[in-house]
Structure 1
Amino acid sequence: MGWQSRTRSLQIFDTEFSADTVEWCPLADWSGILACGTYQLQKGEEGTAGELTAPSRIGRLYLFQFRQQPLGSLSPHLTEIQRIDSPAILDLKWCHIPISDRPLLGMATASGDIQLFRLKDTQREDGCGLDKVSETELGQDRLALSLDWSTGRGDCSDVRTVSSDSSGSISVLSLGESSFSLVSQWKAHDFEAWISAFSYWDTQIVYSGGDDCKLKGWDLRMGPSHPTFTSKRHSMGVCSIHSNCHRERILATGSYDENVLLWDERNMREPLSETPMGGGVWRLKWHPTQEHLLLAACMHNDFHILHCKQAMDGNGGPCPTLASYVLHNSLAYGADWSHLSLVGSPPPSSLEPEEPCTSLSNTGGHLRIQYESPTASFDTSLEDESGQYIPDPISPAKTPAIVSLPGPAEDSSSSMSSLLATCSFYDHMLHVWRWDWTQEARQTEGEGEREEGGPSSS
């Protein structure tokens, strides 16, 4: 029995500023809470003496609540419950465990600081909101570009974050009662350090990727004077890293070189697999419960769900694409899975045309943007005056061969549905959508005979 894969849009929200990061709260009691961060470059203005003021980067933090509505309901699934003006936001991450019984959200900003927000109950009708509790500066003249919590596997013994910034530095911060203290900071990359992440299996190990095309590992017990390894396996800037909290020592990395690499953390000399994505891989997210499923935000080539079992089992080869979400019209940046359990059959969607169910996305040829260094991919427009991209054509990307795939779990006969959120940059759009992975119905003997004999007349 095979499996069918289908994506359906549920709701679209205009964030006004360019949207670049979305994060669902991972805690069970708050799994319907979604945060979205935005980034907007404001050009300098001409002063009275004719000089131009320096450009500024502003942003806005949105908080939403998702409630699944019955079929046919006119009520929206997603409701905005709060917005907070801030410096431009480069990354958001919820702590994976409650702190003082409440969710905690970390935010990396263009002002070079990490801000911390606590989700609290309020007297408003929606019942909750974010309250800023601390702000920690990483240094002057830098942008905080990413952050990750050490709590990916639910470990609360030593709660820390790691952050990367535009100076090429990595910072590790320890969480006290309600604020961070800087534990260590070091120069890790020659140019912007786009991404940093913990190994969830050994939180003394952190990884970093930069615009110098290098992926590095660091052991906090040994100090940051030398990396434990330096990999040049990616040919362009490394901008996404995520440790798999369910499968031991599995690490995913992505790059402007348009490839997703899977690694065994115990052997970083050569990746387990390499998968071409047809777009720079800005974010990677493992599924919250299914260890083999990986969500990729591929900048100018949309969002894709990869099935990584064969590669993780050591069989090599690219990871097949189970599903693609292609309704965004701009750079695909933010992406995340919700922990919320969906019930019922997929609702109809007027926002998305019916498409055939597929087990593999065949992208064929594509257009490739020449990604610019750093803060350039945010500050330098990749569009012409009419809002169209300015691409350079290259040869068609190779697509993995179609293979027979199991369902969500090999011993499971049930289907699964997942709720996701994605956002795109220049069109400043947040999309909430669902992905359904369902078993194909078995054909009866009579149905098979009718198909072999051609369509019946009525």
Structure 2
Amino acid sequence: LMGRRPDREKEQFSTFSHIYATSVVFLVVQSMSERKRVCHIKSDPEIKGEVISLYKKSRRKRNAPIIYHAIVEMPLLLPSAVFQWSTGPVEQVQEGSSHDCLVATTIGKNHILRFTQIILNENANDGKKLRFKKKCDIRFKQAVQIAKYMPQDARILALGTNLFDAVLRLNESDQASGEVSKLQSAIPAGSGGKSLSWNKIKAGLLITVFSNGAISLYDIEHGVKNDSTVPSIENYKVCLINEIHWHPKLESIFGGAGKNGNICIWDRRIKASKFLVHNFSTHVGNEVSSFSFNCFNENILASGSDDKSVKLWDLRKTGRPLHIYFPGNAPRKLMWCPRNEVMLGCAFQKNGLHIYDVNAIGQEIVGNDPLFVHSGYKNNLLDFDWNSHLTWLLGGSNDRGIISAWIPAKEIVNDEDVNIPDEELEPLDF
């Protein structure tokens, strides 16, 4: 057929590589009777976006061995708003160490909690040191928006949906089933699934916040385990709260991130002024989207806001922050590393996950820049969690339905020098 084409038409086919410049893609449909030329016009921005996306994806794969000690990804049918490491002990298996985690997704009309194992094998022959292994699913009628393992007992979880909050007790013999007890607040509450937190010191003490700002406290250990509902023992309401946490070192202290730009701190030991001991402004004119108590220093707190800043605070001197980071994007979630007091993880709406080394503040190298960036595909990170058994094992889920676990390169986090040829390096902004 090519031999019977005019010379002019041969030139058009030989110069097919120049079609991108004219933003026209030609599809030639041939048949025995006739040949039709069908043209599909694509705009320059559309083609440019596709090319850049493919380039960034390939560049990320080339950079992965330099940036990560280990990384693994697994797709879900729909995105998970939950990623949580189990608080239970690490299980030793033949391949290495097994770390349980939890995600929530939807399959068809079924909303499920998926319990998954992540196997860490440092001596893997194929170089894949991390591997996902599904354990079981539990179905729910409503989508799970938030889930937390109880620190003292990994068989008990607190869950939040759009309609209610509940406690799930897994069966010892069959983890794929369990008993659900709904949490019942003594004051009118809005929809559930806003935020909840387990007390790390006293087992069974759970606090939740609803969409209307109502805060309720529950004692799971002293409740009747066979009841279908668990009543609250204390209730508070000061302002609308985005996030709530127990203090990791002080049993009676908990705090909330206010929509009014304030951080509120309560102390259950003080029987006055609704137990509120601190109510200080952190981000004037903006909501506090997330905050985190330091796991080692009881006076240090980090807060993030829609004003695209992350601030460090000393609760003894709340007049001004200790330091301010300006990452250029609004943080979705902050979390101090449970095994390293100077490492702060910040999940952003567009820029992935940044890990800041607080010790580097003021240094010429690193300084205000993050120590490590997990950018992925620049997707919105919905949730992330530090592993409580391994310092540098992290996991998260994004809005593309990808859950991932990773360990940063040891040369980065251990501050070790490494010689890498310049031709092997790629730009970090992928």
Which bracket does the TM-score occupy, shorter chain normalised?
Answer: 0.5 to 0.7
Counterpart in the other structure of 2:416? 440
Does structure 2 retain, via aligned residues, the 8 Å contact 1:120–1:130?
A: no
1:228 corresponds to which letter in structure 2?
V
Q: Give 1:105 deviation, angstroms.
A: 2.0
Counterpart in the other structure of 2:217? 172
- Map 1:48-447 to 2 at 5 A: 59-69=111-121, 70-72=124-126, 77-86=131-140, 87-98=142-153, 103-118=155-170, 120-122=172-174, 128-129=175-176, 131-138=178-185, 141-151=190-200, 155-156=201-202, 159-176=204-221, 179=225, 180-189=230-239, 191=240, 193-223=241-271, 225=274, 227-235=276-284, 236-309=286-359, 319-341=368-390, 418-425=392-399, 427-438=400-411, 439-441=415-417
Quickly say closer, same or farther: Cα 1:442–1:134, change in 2 above 3 A.
closer
Aligned to 1:67, what secondary structure does the other structure show?
A: strand
TM-align CA RMSD: 3.2
For residues 74-102 of structure 1, the C-alpha deviation after alignment (integer angstroms, 9 at most, x for no partner) is 7971112122233232322222223xxx5
Q: Identity, % of aligned pairs?
A: 19
Aligned to 2:356, what secondary structure does the other structure show?
A: strand
Task: Work out the CA distance in 1 between the residues paired with 2:105 and 2:305.
Answer: 21
Quickly say closer, same or farther: Cα 1:212–1:111, change in 2 above 3 A.
same
Aligned to 2:233, what secondary structure does the other structure show?
A: strand
Task: Work out the CA distance in 1 between the residues paired with 2:297 and 2:106.
Answer: 34
Task: Work out the CA distance in 2 between the residues paired with 1:188 and 1:18.
Answer: 33
Does structure 2 retain, via aligned residues, the 8 Å contact 1:201–1:249?
A: no
Larger Rg: 2
- Larger RCO of the pair (alpha carbons < 8 Å, separation 6+): 1
Aligned to 1:63, what secondary structure does the other structure show?
A: strand
Q: Give 1:442 deviation, angstroms.
A: 7.8
2:145 corresponds to which letter in structure 1?
L
Aligned to 2:81, what secondary structure does the other structure show?
A: strand
Q: Give 1:308 deviation, angstroms.
A: 1.4
Aligned to 1:225, what secondary structure does the other structure show?
A: helix
TM-score in terms of structure 1 length: 0.64
2:79 to 10, 18, 23: 18
TM-score in terms of structure 2 length: 0.68
Does structure 1 retain, via aligned residues, the 8 Å contact 2:158–2:165?
A: no
Number of residues paired by the alignment? Answer: 331
Task: Work out the CA distance in 2 between the residues paired with 1:252 and 1:71.
Answer: 41
Task: Work out the CA distance in 1 between the residues paired with 2:105 and 2:327.
Answer: 25
Aligned to 1:282, what secondary structure does the other structure show?
A: strand
Structure with more of its chain in helix, by fraction? 2
Q: Give 1:309 deviation, angstroms.
A: 2.6
Task: Work out the CA distance in 1 between the residues paired with 2:205 and 2:320.
Answer: 29
Q: Give 1:300 deviation, angstroms.
A: 1.6
Q: Give 1:422 deviation, angstroms.
A: 1.0
Moved more, 293-302 or 213-222: 213-222
Quickly say closer, same or farther: Cα 1:441–1:232, change in 2 above 3 A.
closer
Task: Work out the CA distance in 2 between the residues paired with 1:76 and 1:248.
Answer: 34
Aligned to 1:111, what secondary structure does the other structure show?
A: coil
Does structure 2 retain, via aligned residues, the 8 Å contact 1:23–1:335?
A: yes
Counterpart in the other structure of 2:423? none
Aligned to 1:289, what secondary structure does the other structure show?
A: coil
Quickly say closer, same or farther: Cα 1:76–1:245, change in 2 above 3 A.
closer
Q: Give 1:420 deviation, angstroms.
A: 1.2
2:164 corresponds to which letter in structure 1?
G
